[in-house]
């Protein structure tokens, strides 16, 4: 009876170690900013890509995905706005918006973001594109 419990405990311990090892080996996210506009990036499956761009929502402008990289990348949540940091941020000062995508399928796709007022039917005032290859 005791040896069966010992074997079960060892099996559980091995499973836990394997799980921690696999999770700990996830590739680090790729961080991009406006200076990476027009570049090509290579990701491994399950790797994330984070794009952080200057934004000022007090003007009505925000970044929107206009060219989705389906099915190569999957967007994780919505854009996350970060207000300017400092001792006394000025009202209306620009902050940043960060988009996170996860590589889900092998292939190559172009991801495009545009800076615009969502309610206007005009071309974005700024764009950001990146070609992503998932291996």
- The fold adopted by the segment(s) 28-134 is Immunoglobulin-like (2.60.40)
**Arithmetic mean of pLDDT, 96-114:** 98
Residue 28 CA from chain centroid, whole number: 11
State in Å, rounded, how far the first CA of the chain is from the last one.
48
> Does 92 or 17 have the greater pLDDT score?
92
Mean pLDDT (the chain, rounded): 86
> Does 9 or 93 have the greater pLDDT score?
93
The whole-number pLDDT of residue 72 equals 97
Tokens (6 digits) for 7: 């074997």
Residue 15 CA from chain centroid, whole number: 29
Instruction: Note the pLDDT tens digit of each residue in 20-60.
Output: 444 557 799 999 999 999 999 999 999 999 999 999 999 99
Whether the upstream peptide bond of residue 30 has omega within 30° of 0, thus cis, is: no
The whole-number pLDDT of residue 17 equals 47
| Cα–Cα distance, 66 to 118 (Å, whole number) | 11
Phi-psi region of 65 (alpha: psi -120 to 50; beta: other; left: phi over 0): beta
């Amino acid at each position: 009876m005791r040896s069966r419990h010992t074997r079960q405990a060892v099996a559980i311990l091995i499973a836990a170690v394997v799980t921690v090892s696999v999770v700990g080996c996830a590739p680090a996210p790729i961080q991009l900013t406006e200076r990476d506009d027009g570049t090509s990036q290579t990701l491994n499956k399950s790797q994330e890509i984070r794009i952080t761009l200057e934004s000022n929502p007090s003007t009505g402008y925000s970044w929107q995905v206009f060219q989705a990289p389906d099915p190569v990348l999957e967007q994780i949540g919505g854009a996350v706005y970060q207000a300017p940091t400092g001792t006394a941020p000025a009202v209306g000062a620009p902050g940043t918006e960060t988009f996170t995508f996860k590589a889900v399928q092998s292939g190559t796709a172009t991801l495009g973001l545009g800076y615009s007022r969502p309610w206007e039917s005009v071309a974005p005032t700024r764009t950001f594109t990146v070609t992503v290859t998932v291996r």
